[in-house]
Amino acid sequence: MPDTLETASDASPGIAVPRAGETSVADSIDMGQSYPLGATVVPGGVNFSIYSRGASTIELLLFDRDNDARATRVIRMDPVCSRTYHYWHLFVPGIEPGQIYGFRVHGPFNPSTGFRFDASKLLLDPYGRAVVVPKNYSRDAAAMKGENTETAMKSVVVDATAYDWKRDKRLWRPSSRTIIYEMHVRGFKAHPNSGLSANKRGTYIGLIEKIPYLQDLGITAVELLPVFQFDAQDCPPGRVNYWGYAPVGFFAPHQAYSSRQDPLGAVNEFRDMVKALHRAGIEVILDVVFNHTAEGDHGGPTLCHRGIDNSTYYILEQDRSRYANFSGTGNTLNANHPVVRRMIVDSLRYWVQEMHVDGFRFDLASILARDSSGHVMSNPTVLWDIESDPALAGTKLIAEAWDAAGLYQVGSFIGDSWKEWNGRFRDDVRDFLRCADHSVTRIADRLLGSPAIYGHKEREAEQSVNFVTCHDGFTLNDLVSHNQKHNEENGEGNRDGADDNRSWNCGVEGPSNDPAVDKLRNRQVKNYLTITLLSLGVPIILMGDEVRQIQNGNNNAYCQDNEISWLDWSLLSRHADVHRFLKLLIERRLMRDVRHERRRATLNQLLRESTIAWHGVKLGRPDWSSYSHALAFGAALPNDELIFHVILNAFWEPLDFELPKVANGGIWRRWIDTTLDSPQDIVEWQSAHPVSSDVYRAGPRSVVMLASGTAFDKPRLSQNRKDQFC
């Protein structure tokens, strides 16, 4: 491509310059307003506004259908009258919601200076509220020289106020009452055995039909893998980007998850899903990607931001023709640039105010701490903008506090209200249960909310978001079935995905017909779930772990939109004991007294007010040595009317643990022992079995929980009781 493009930008201002087959509009056009950005429905028509500092002129193209090769109308924005500062705007009378549109932006093409304008490419609106994707969409056409109008994604005009929420409102559930289920909208109900009709599988409406399943399990919040419109072709040839970490629109719900065919279908169906989840008492948290886009590196496609204002939207290398790649995907959004910062905050406001979501998990959030040169800022403006925005007050903000370039901020992420995915919890629990050395002291800290990591912040006990598995890595079943990743089906020679998995296959790599091996794996799965649900912090459960979902050892299934990734509903009957085990764990967790949160007690305060004693096989003699694989502790939390004694035996042989005496003639009751077969592995809380001996034999690789107190006599509470959340 030449250094400069020969475009229509040299024509007289205010006159549309049509291509073959296009209809121009040379009449006098109302020049509109610079605010708000995007396409805004107003009385009599639609106002369009877009930011571009380096453009020489911009054309608005209107279409009748998503795969039209030519626009029905082309309206050129006058560089004098239709431009305020760097905002280009105009009002088009007579058009309505559902109108399909896009932009052509004229300007210099000179990558060495950061300019990548290409007026042959149809571009999405960065603020577009909906996107249509033609069946013949081509990512390759957007990357190659030449026009791509017919095969390009296009934006759609949306009237954000045209929806009946029927008094829906955010749930404001406290973090102490939150059980997060990380799930994929499509994968949750795409499997043929999901029980849904073909047109509902993998859709927002399909998820609605399975809400009773989430309620029954005890889930209080779903964390949805990316639902921003993404480029499904951003992946190796012959595969599909399944996870969705390839955004092209930060305001538009992904069209392919809609069961409806009309351009506005995804917007309304997403809202239907949120409203239904809220009625069921379940919050909606979105996994959001503000660290990069699907436009990739210097050889990637021109879809939106690259062609509108490349050097504004992206962090560029010293060689301005190359992109900084702190995301590992080819480019990095310039998040602390004022314009990009505003776009991010506007996006979050939109999803909260107009789409009613309850929170966000920020993918590779540490990238948001980098400035325009890629250096780490001590006070990143965009993070403080998000935290201090009044419209976002009370919204759950969860950071994945690292990036792909080695920046790791777990325990040091900026802000007063951000919670953090605790990657150290994952690593240390895995190390302990696979019997790794030097792990016993670390598991002790993780059980108590990781005070060694978070105590210095004097924050709440729930700052740590605890997970052992997530979408990125092994499922829980694969974690206990594989020592190595098996990503051959991804087409990258098994080079992709993490090598440091800290897994243990229980003696056999992959599937096994040996009953003893499967029994051990089942026990390890329950051990992981128990530690996650008993630890202080906010627990996350990965979709399918409750039924031992299998991914054949693939720890990077981002391009597997098939039965490798989809939830296999037949596993619910095959592993009903695991499902029941988790359900009872959650039920008891939601019964906890959480007055510490209502009075804003910090983690340190809570621990100081609690009675905690560490033990080994002998009372008061914990073994903190490097080669220790067993630990016990007793605790009494304030106001919980309960004392408990937990035994963690990661050793490969049974061990006899001394038990402390219970005051006032009380007795210990056994609630959990993962070595026992179901239904004795965990029992209904009020049916916990008395333990008469002063020694308890904990089986190899097991977790045991004993408890005593008046809490056993309390009636079971409903998780929907309002007084539990106030």
Would 602 be classed as within a structural domain?
A: no
Residue 449 maps to a domain: yes
Look at 78-87, 598-607, 657-666 and tell me which has the smallest mean pLDDT. 598-607
Final residue of a domain: which of 531, 557, 589? 589
Average pLDDT, the chain: 93
Query: Can you list the positions of beta strands (E) in 364-444?
Result: 396-399, 419-421
Is 93 in the same domain as 189?
Answer: no
Residue 721 binned pLDDT confidence (cut-offs 50, 70, 90) = very low
Confidence of residue 22 (pLDDT cuts 50, 70, 90): low
Domain assignment present for 69: yes
Per the structure, the complete domain to which residue 652 belongs is given by 610-724
Q: Are 126 and 39 in the same domain?
A: yes
Residue 400: active-site member: yes
Euclidean distance between CA atoms 613 and 134, whole angstroms: 63
| Separation between Cα atoms, residue 377 and residue 578, nearest integer Å | 45
CATH of the domain at 578: 3.20.20.80
Q: Is residue 318 in a domain?
A: no
**pLDDT for residue 640:** 65
Distance separating alpha carbons of residues 122 and 120, to the nearest angstrom: 7
The answer, yes or no, to whether residue 20 has pLDDT greater than 90, is no
* Tokens describing residue 303: 């879809």
Which entry of 66, 182, 231, 363 is annotated as an active-site residue?
363
Phi-psi region of 600 (alpha: psi -120 to 50; beta: other; left: phi over 0): left
Between 594 and 312, the more confident residue is 312
**Same-domain status, 342 and 271:** yes
* Same-domain status, 541 and 486: yes
Q: What average pLDDT does this structure show over 603-632?
A: 95
Q: Could you tell me if 137 and 229 lie in one domain? A: no
Does the structure show a pLDDT above 90 at 599? no
pLDDT at 169 over 70: yes
At residue 720 the predicted structure's pLDDT band, cuts being 50, 70 and 90, is very low
Assess whether pLDDT exceeds 80 at residue 15. no
Does the N-terminal peptide bond of residue 380 adopt cis geometry, omega within 30 degrees of 0?
no
Residues 344-353, mean pLDDT to the nearest whole number: 98
Residue reference for tokens 């305060």: 605
Give residue 19's pLDDT band: very low, low, confident or very high (50, 70, 90).
Answer: low
Per-residue pLDDT at 564: 97
pLDDT digits (tens, 9 = 90+) for 418-475: 999 999 999 999 999 999 999 999 999 999 999 999 999 999 999 999 999 999 999 9
8 Å CB contact between 232 and 256: yes
**Average pLDDT in the 47-64 region?**
98
Domain annotation covers residue 600 = no
- Looking at the fold, whether 571 and 635 belong to one and the same domain comes out as no
Question: The domain spanning residue 670 has which CATH number?
Answer: 2.60.40.1180
- The string of pLDDT tens digits covering residues 537-590 is 999 999 999 999 999 999 999 999 999 999 999 999 999 999 999 999 999 999
Q: Distance between CA atoms of 226 and 363, rounded to whole angstroms? A: 9
* Total of domains in the chain: 3
Burial 472-483, CB ≥16 within 10 A → b, else e = bbbbbbbbbbbe
Q: Is residue 169 part of a domain?
A: no
Domain CATH for 32: 2.60.40.10
Question: In terms of DSSP bridges, do strands 702-708 and 668-673 run parallel, antiparallel, or are they unpaired?
Answer: antiparallel
In a domain, 332, yes or no: no
Note whether 675 and 542 are same-domain residues.
no
> Using an 8 Å Cβ cutoff, are 486 and 552 in contact?
yes
Q: What is the mean pLDDT of residues 190-204?
A: 95
Q: Greater confidence, 372 or 594?
A: 372
Q: What is the pLDDT at residue 592? A: 79
Verify that 552 and 681 share a domain, yes or no. no
- Among 125, 400, 478, 561, the active-site one is 400
Residue the block writes with tokens 């595969």: 239
Residues 569 and 456 in one domain: yes
Q: What angle do CA 226, 230, 233 make, to 5 degrees?
A: 125
Q: Domain boundary residue among 106, 121, 156?
A: 156
Mean pLDDT of 665-692: 95
According to DSSP, residue 699 is labeled: P
Nearest to 125 by CA among 303, 253, 289, 266: 303
- Chosen domain end from 126, 156, 186: 156
558 lies in the same domain as 685: no
Residues 477 and 563 in one domain: yes
Task: Indicate if 368 and 434 belong to the same structural domain.
Answer: yes
Asked if the structure places residue 165 within a domain, the reply is: no
